[in-house]
Amino acid sequence: MIDYDNPEIEAQWLTERRDEITDYLTNEGVSHGKVGAEPAWHIAPYVSIWAIENLKTPNSVGWWAISGDLPNDYVSASNAKNPREAIHAIASLWKEASQYMARGERHPTFVIGTGESDDELAPLLASRAEMLLDWYSDPEMWE
């Protein structure tokens, strides 16, 4: 069993998540500045939230990106002022998208996956969304 309480193991996990987010944003065509050297918030090995610099306003957050034991995704900082709000914004969208997927429909404004395995992805996405919403609602997670 991997000991994520070990600082070296946790640091390696975070480095991998940062690299993953950088690659993901590039592949998604998101114009961005620097990815934070450290996550804005995380629980290894489940989730990490990264501040992504706004190219138009250097040294300010333009995006929040999520990575971990869940899909990579991002949300505009105009919709989320801090990591907690980013968790809520992403989880709410995932919950809604999973409901569309479960009905065999595509979300009108959000794409996840190719649609070929929505019946398998819907419950997974819903469970990750619920986990994030539980953490969002727990003040102890944000102390």
Q: What is the pLDDT of residues 75-94, one digit of tens each?
A: 999 989 999 999 999 999 99
- What H or E segment, with its residue span, contains residue 77? none
- For residue 125, pLDDT over 80 is answered with yes
CA atoms within 13 A on the CB side of 5: 1
Q: Does the residue 2 lie in any domain? A: no
Q: Does the residue 83 lie in any domain? A: yes
pLDDT at 115: 64
What percent of the chain lies above the pLDDT cut of 70? 98
Q: Does the residue 94 lie in any domain? A: yes
Lowest mean pLDDT, pick from 39-43, 100-104, 137-141: 100-104
Structurally, how many domains does the chain consist of? 1
Q: Does the residue 106 lie in any domain? A: yes
- For residue 114, pLDDT over 80 is answered with no
pLDDT at 34: 95
Average of per-residue pLDDT across 16-26:
97
Average of per-residue pLDDT across 83-106:
93
What mean pLDDT, rounded, does the chain reach? 93
Q: Does the residue 89 lie in any domain? A: yes
Which residue range forms the structural domain that includes residue 58?
7-142
Average of per-residue pLDDT across 2-21:
96
Average of per-residue pLDDT across 61-74:
95
pLDDT at 111: 76
Q: Does the residue 119 lie in any domain? A: yes
Q: Does the residue 1 lie in any domain? A: no
In the chain, how many H helices and how many E strands? 3, 4
